[in-house]
Structure formats: structure tokens, C-alpha cells
Copies of this chain bind each other. A is one copy, B any other.
Amino acid sequence: MTQQSMTMAKALNEGLRRAMEKDRKVLLMGEDIGKLGGVFRITDGLQKDFGEDRVIDAPLAESAIVGTSVGLAIRGYRTVVEIQFDGFVYPAFDQIVSQVAKLHKRSAGVYTMGLVIRLPFQGGIGAIEHHSESPEAYFVHTAGLRVVVCSTPNDAYWMIQQSVEHDDPIIFCEPKSRYWEKGEVDLDNPPYGLFDAVVRRPGTDVTVVAWGSMVKTALRAADVAAEEGVSLEVIDARSLSPLDLDTIATSVEKTGRLVVVQEAPPTASVGSEIVAAVTERCFYSLRAPGTRVSAYHVPYPPSRIEDAYRPSVDRVMDAIDRVMGYDQ
């Protein structure tokens, strides 16, 4: 087993490189992804090695980036699109929702929409407005799309490759605040299936589901809780569409309590979905109502106060206390 320690940014870069080496139909397209290597350097060096025809610096228009990727898909290419920041995906919303999500269906399976839309998402980097959003719910709600989130370098390396190989369109969410954190990457074997949720830390009292940046927050909360004698089982959802409800439900049946931690605002969110779906499946096992720890129902605030907006360990612990106190 070849192990290597690298940042998530590097793991994505290496994963993309490997995907491009394997299949010459794989293209990258986005703003500033060529010479600059993208504002986060995820595509660093790839244009130099694969040429301008395969690593395409795009004119500044997100709808066109996605729309032309659809045309390339019809021609048999697989484009990995980089949206520079979460908040700039909305101009492409029509192409994503009405075309990317529906053309496989509309063509009765003839068109393969095997494109990947990379979305550096979530906050926590002290950025200005529109650079810290968590728009996953919009895409999870949309039939025809799949949505996955990496939270470790190893997952980043493998999930990006699995996404490129997968025939359905995938919104690939990258927690930008974790880009520079290092972790071990196994260069030989993927750790899990692309759509599997994973228990990151086993526990017995409360099931905590998180994704992206919030996995680490949940794990820190688990440390704190352990000191207080409460055992959290932390699940990294990894795939938001489809959700791996089996893994989550199995855990909830054991713990009897569910807390979902998300950076997105609460209403009609992925958190709402997990709570609703798990309640339906585990009604008799639940000793407390499934509880969400979310951002607030307000626009992303100026980043000087973002720590009060994004779920913190404190807020997670507050929810843990609430669900633990329920049946006492």
C-alpha cells in the first residue's frame, strides 16, 4: 500500500491528474484554471502537462461553462467544471437544473451527462460575500443530479476520480476551509464507494451526521462530549444525493438520537431531509427528535462574525445536551 501525506488541495490535483491520464476524453474547464492553476491551485500544473485543449481557461460566464460542457458531453467528452466559488454557481442554475439534470432522461439514455461540477463550498476562510456559501440543498432537491462531498485528502483523491468515471452528473462539493489540511492518501485503493456514508468515530449515545467542513467540527464535539461522558457516533455523510440512509439509520437504531450538523441554513435543507427520512425509518428507535445544527436563516454574514454563523463545537454540544436531556 502506497501511502502519502498531502493536503486536500494536492489530493484533488493528483486525483484529477490521474483521471486525465486514464481517459483522454476527460477535460477540465473553468475560470483561471490554466496558468494560474485556479484560485485555490487545485489544477496547478495540469494545463502545462495536458495542454490548453484539455485544461480550458473559460471566458467568464458560468452558464456557458456548464452549457458548453453539456455539448461536450453529447460529443463524448467528460468535463470537470470548476466553479470558482460556491456563490457563483447560480448563473449556471438553469443549465444545471434544466439541462444537466434532465438530458439523460430526455434522450431516453442516449446522452451521457457524465460531467462533474466542482464547487469549492462552505465558509470559514474569512472571505468577502458570495465566497462562503453552502448551496448543496438546491442540488440535492433536484432529481437527475448526484451530490457528493469530500472531507479528507484520501476521500478527495478517490472521490474525484470516482466522480469522473461515474456516468451521472455530479456536483462535487469541496470544503474550501479544509483544502490546506494534510492527511494520508492511499494511492492504491479507494477506501469506500462514492455514495457510502462512513462512520468516522463509533459511539453509542448520539448519532451525529455531518459533511465537508463540519465533519471535523463534529469530531471535535465528540472529544468534548467524551469528556462529559457522552459517546457520539460521528458519520461523514459523504454523499448527499443519494443519501446513504442505511448507514445513518443503523447508527440511529443503536443510539436512539440524531443530530445533523450543516453549514447551510436550516429550512428545506439536507438536514431537514435527513431528519425527516430518519424519523420515518427509525420512529420507534428515536428517544429524542432528530435535531439540526445549522447556519441561521440569514445571508452569509461578513466574515468577521462568521464563526457565530457556522455551527461551532459549542452549538453542537448544545444540541447534544438537548437530545440527551429529552428522555430524562
- CB within 8 Å of B: which residues of A? 63, 87, 90-91, 93-94, 97-98, 101-102, 105-106, 129-130, 137-138, 140-144, 241, 243, 264-265, 267-273, 275-277, 279-280, 283, 288-292, 296-299, 326
Q: Knowing A90-B94, A93-B93, A130-B98 touch, does A141 contact B280 (C-beta < 8 A)?
A: no
The one of B105, B141, B267 that contacts A241, using a Cβ cutoff of 8 Å: B267
Query: How many protomers of this protein does the assembly include?
Result: 2
Known contacts: A94-B91, A138-B138, A326-B283. The answer to whether A105 contacts B298 by CB under 8 A is yes
Residues of B close to A264: CB separation below 8 A: 141
9 contacts between A and B (CB under 8 A): A90-B93, A93-B93, A102-B129, A137-B268, A141-B267, A243-B267, A268-B269, A272-B273, A275-B280
- What 8 pairs across the A-B complex have the smallest Cβ distances? A90-B94, A93-B93, A275-B276, A283-B289, A272-B272, A272-B276, A141-B268, A268-B273
Interface of A is mostly: mixed
Cβ 8 A contact of A272, one of B268, B289, B299: B268
A105 touches B299 (CB 8 A): yes
A91 to chain B: which residues have CB within 8 Å? 63, 93-94
Contact A143 B272 (CB under 8 A): no
Asked whether, in the complex, the Cβ of A97 is within 8 Å of the Cβ of B90, the reply is yes
A175–chain B nearest beta-carbon distance, Å: 19
A270 to B98, CA, bound (A): 20
Q: Are A265 and B98 in contact (CB under 8 A)?
A: no
User: Which chain B residue has the least Cβ–Cβ distance from A138?
Assistant: B138
A140-B268, A269-B268, A276-B292 known; A299 vs B93 contact (CB < 8 Å): no
A65 to B176 alpha-carbon distance, docked (Å):
33
Query: Once the chains are docked, how many angstroms separate the CA of A133 from the CA of B297?
Result: 25
**Closest Cβ neighbor of A241 among chain B residues:** B267
Q: Are A143 and B279 in contact (CB under 8 A)?
A: no
Residues of B close to A299: CB separation below 8 A: 101-102, 105-106, 143-144
Assess whether B297 is in contact with A143, with CB atoms less than 8 Å apart: yes
Name the CB-closest residue of B to A280. Answer: B289
Report chain B residues within 8 Å CB of A283. Answer: 288-289, 326
Given contacts A141-B265, A143-B299, 18 further A-B contacts (CB under 8 A): A93-B94, A106-B299, A137-B141, A137-B268, A140-B268, A141-B267, A141-B268, A143-B265, A143-B267, A143-B298, A144-B298, A267-B273, A273-B276, A275-B279, A276-B279, A280-B289, A280-B291, A283-B289
